[in-house]
Amino acid sequence: MWMVGHLDAAASSMTGITARLHEPPRALRAHVAHIWELSGSWLQGADLLLPDTSIDISVHLHGEAEIYVAGRWSVLPARAVVGSLSHAMPLRHARPLHAFGIRLPPGDARLLLLPAASLRDVICPLAQVAPGLDRTLAAIAAGIAAGRLGIHCVWQALGRAVRTETNNAVQRAALQLAGDRGRSIAALARELGISRRHLSRRFRTIIGWTPEEFRRLARFSAAAALAASAPVKRWSDIAIAAGYFDQAHFVRDFRSFASQTPSAVFSAAWFSNFSR
Report the candidate in 266, 262, 265, 267 with the shortest Cα–Cα distance to residue 236.
Answer: 262
More confident residue, 165 or 105: 105
Q: What is the pLDDT of residue 5?
A: 46
Lowest mean pLDDT among 57-61, 95-99, 126-130, 201-205: 95-99
More confident residue, 24 or 191: 24
Q: What is the pLDDT of residue 3?
A: 58
Q: What is the pLDDT of residue 276?
A: 65
What is the average pLDDT across 212-222? 96
Cα-based distances in Å from 24 to 33, 40, 249 = 7, 23, 34
Report the candidate in 48, 87, 44, 83 with the shortest Cα–Cα distance to residue 65.
Answer: 48
pLDDT for 147 beyond 90: no
Question: Is 45:87 a contact under the CB 8 Å cutoff?
Answer: no
Q: Which residues pair with 84 in a beta bridge?
A: none
pLDDT for 146 beyond 60: no
| Residue-wise pLDDT tens digits, 221-266 | 999 999 999 999 999 999 999 999 999 999 999 999 999 999 999 9
What is the average pLDDT across 150-170? 85
What residue spans in the chain does CATH classification 1.10.10.60 cover? 169-258
What is the average pLDDT across 136-148? 79
Q: Cα separation of 56 and 84, whole Å? A: 8
Give the model's confidence band at 148: pLDDT under 50 very low, under 70 low, under 90 confident, else very high. low
Q: Cα separation of 184 and 177, whole Å? A: 9
What residue spans in the chain does CATH classification 2.60.120 cover? 17-161
Q: What is the pLDDT of residue 6?
A: 42
Q: What is the pLDDT of residue 15?
A: 72
Q: How many CA atoms lie within 13 A of 23 on its CB side?
A: 3
| Residue-wise pLDDT tens digits, 58-92 | 999 988 999 998 899 999 999 999 999 999 999 99
| Residue-wise pLDDT tens digits, 6-64 | 444 333 344 799 999 999 999 999 999 999 999 999 988 779 999 999 999 999 998 89
Q: Which class is domain 169-258?
A: mainly alpha
Q: Cα separation of 126 and 77, whole Å? A: 8
Tell the CATH topology of 17-161.
Jelly Rolls (2.60.120)
Residue 168 CB-density burial (10 A; 0-12 exposed, 13-18 middle, 19+ buried): middle
Cα-based distances in Å from 43 to 73, 94, 137, 190, 227 = 19, 10, 28, 50, 20
What is the average pLDDT across 183-204? 91
Q: What is the pLDDT of residue 11?
A: 39
